[in-house]
Copies of this chain bind each other. A is one copy, B any other.
Amino acid sequence: MRRVDEARLRALEDREAIRNLIASYGPLADSGDAEAVARLWTGDGVYAVDGFPEACGHEAIAALITGPVHQTLMARGCAHVLGAPVIDLDGERASARCHSVVLAKAGEGWEAVRVAANRWELARTPEGWRVTRRDNALLDGREAARALLAR
């Protein structure tokens, strides 16, 4: 046993907080909690979802959840499942890359209606880690989506 570097413990806590933050997105989105989804981002955070106008700030991000596309999906039955993120910590900043899959009820089963690449930019704030930008692009063969997953 010896004294442990505070920085090592802090790095583990940071990664844990970031993982929990990203894991929160799907359950919050699928329970329709627009306010809590928005507050995963900083006040001037950006959520650039493929196929939608870029959403800047809490009000615009919340509107993606209260809007007709998401509400129709929820009524049909949906799951926003995120893959395990690769997290790169860099002091007070971090980035993460992962897949996202939206499954929606269709007949007896469910179908994958969106499969996307995601890159998250995050910052440590007085309230904890928050998303400053999330880019999302459908993995439909375009280079732009593949680039989001690149190291």
Q: Is A28 an interface residue (CB 8 A)?
A: yes
**What are 18 A-B interface contacts by the 8 Å CB criterion?**
A1-B3, A2-B6, A4-B9, A12-B12, A12-B16, A20-B87, A26-B99, A26-B149, A28-B151, A30-B99, A30-B117, A30-B146, A31-B149, A77-B140, A78-B139, A79-B99, A82-B84, A105-B141
The residues of B that contact A30 with a CB separation of less than 8 Å are: 99, 117, 139, 146, 149
* A-B pairs with lowest CB-CB distance, top 3: A27-B149, A77-B140, A31-B150
A9 near B9 (CB under 8 angstroms)?
yes
Select A77's contact among B85, B98, B115, beta carbons within 8 Å: B115
Q: Which interface class (under 10, 10 to 19, 20 to 34, 35 or more) fits A?
A: 35 or more
Cα–Cα distance between A8 and B19 once the two chains are bound (Å): 17
Copies in the complex: 3
The residues of B that contact A77 with a CB separation of less than 8 Å are: 115, 138-142, 145
Distance of A136 from chain B, by nearest CB (Å): 13
B103 near A28 (CB under 8 angstroms)?
no
Interface string of A28-50 (1 = CB under 8 A from B): 10111100100000000000000
